[in-house]
Amino acid sequence: MFFKCLDSTRQYQNKISFYLLIVVVEQHDFYIFMRNIKFYSIKERMNMEKARVLLTLLLLLSLTSILQADSTEPNVADDPHDIWRQKTLTGGFWGLNDELADKGIEVGFGVTSIYQANVKGGTSTHARRGRHSGSYDLELSADLQKLLGFETGSISMLVEGGWPDAEGIDAGSVGSAFGVNADAIGNDAMLVKELYYHGPVFSDNLTLMIGKIDFTGVFDASAYADCECTQFLNAAFVDDPTIPFPQYSLGVVLTYDLTDSWYIMGGIADAQADSRESGFRTAFHDEDYFFYALEAGITPELDSANGAMPGAYRVGLWNDPQPKANTDLGEAGKNYRDDVGVYTSFDQMLYKENAHAEDSQGLGVFFRYGYADDKRNDITNFWSVGFQYQGLIEGRDDDVLALGFAKGVFSNKASTTYTDDYESVFELYYSAALTPWLNISPSVQYIANPGGDKAVSDAVILGVRVQMTF
Degrees (nearest 5) of the Cα angle 120, 123, 127? Answer: 80
Taking 70 as the threshold, does the pLDDT of residue 18 lie above it?
A: no
Question: If pLDDT is split at 50, 70 and 90, which confidence band does 167 have?
Answer: confident
C-alpha closest to that of 130 among 54, 85, 202, 181? 181
Quote the pLDDT of residue 3: 52
pLDDT value of residue 43: 43
pLDDT (tens digit, 9 = 90+) per residue, 379-393?
A: 999 999 999 999 999
Which tens digits make up the pLDDT trace of 60-90? 554 544 444 444 443 433 455 678 888 899 8
Q: Which of 251, 170, 172, 166 is nearest to 208 (CA)?
A: 251
- Cβ atoms of 404 and 427 within 8 Å: the answer is yes
What CATH class is the domain 2-276+393-469? mainly beta
Q: Using alpha carbons only, what angle is made at residue 65 by residues 63 and 69, rounded to the nearest 5 degrees?
A: 120
Q: For 348-375, how does the pLDDT look when each residue is reduced to its tens digit (9 = 90+)?
A: 999 999 999 889 999 999 999 999 999 9
Residue 41 has pLDDT above 90, yes or no: no
Pairing outcome for strands 249-257 and 203-213: antiparallel
Q: Is a pLDDT exceeding 80 seen at residue 35?
A: no
pLDDT above 80 for 32: no
Mean pLDDT over the full length of the chain: 85
Q: SS3 of 366, please?
A: strand
- What gap in Å lies between CA 114 and CA 136, rounded to an integer? 12
How wide is the angle at C-alpha 1 spanned by C-alphas 77 and 256, nearest 5°?
100
Are 386 and 429 in contact, with CB atoms under 8 Å apart? no
pLDDT digits (tens, 9 = 90+) for 105-131: 999 999 999 999 999 999 999 999 999
pLDDT band at 151 (very low <50, low <70, confident <90, very high): confident
Task: Give the model's confidence band at 274: pLDDT under 50 very low, under 70 low, under 90 confident, else very high.
Answer: confident
- How large is the C-alpha radius of gyration of the chain? 23
Q: Tens digits of per-residue pLDDT, 194-247?
A: 999 999 999 999 999 999 999 999 999 999 999 999 999 999 999 999 999 998
Q: Where are the domains of the chain?
A: 2-276+393-469
- Band of pLDDT at residue 432, cut at 50, 70 and 90: very high
Q: What is residue 325's DSSP assignment?
A: -
What pLDDT score was predicted for residue 216? 94
pLDDT score at 85: 86
Share of the chain above pLDDT 90, in %: 69
Statement: residue 1 has pLDDT above 70: no
Report the pLDDT value the prediction gives residue 422, as an integer from 0 to 100: 97
Answer whether residue 463 shows pLDDT above 90.
yes
pLDDT number for residue 63? 53
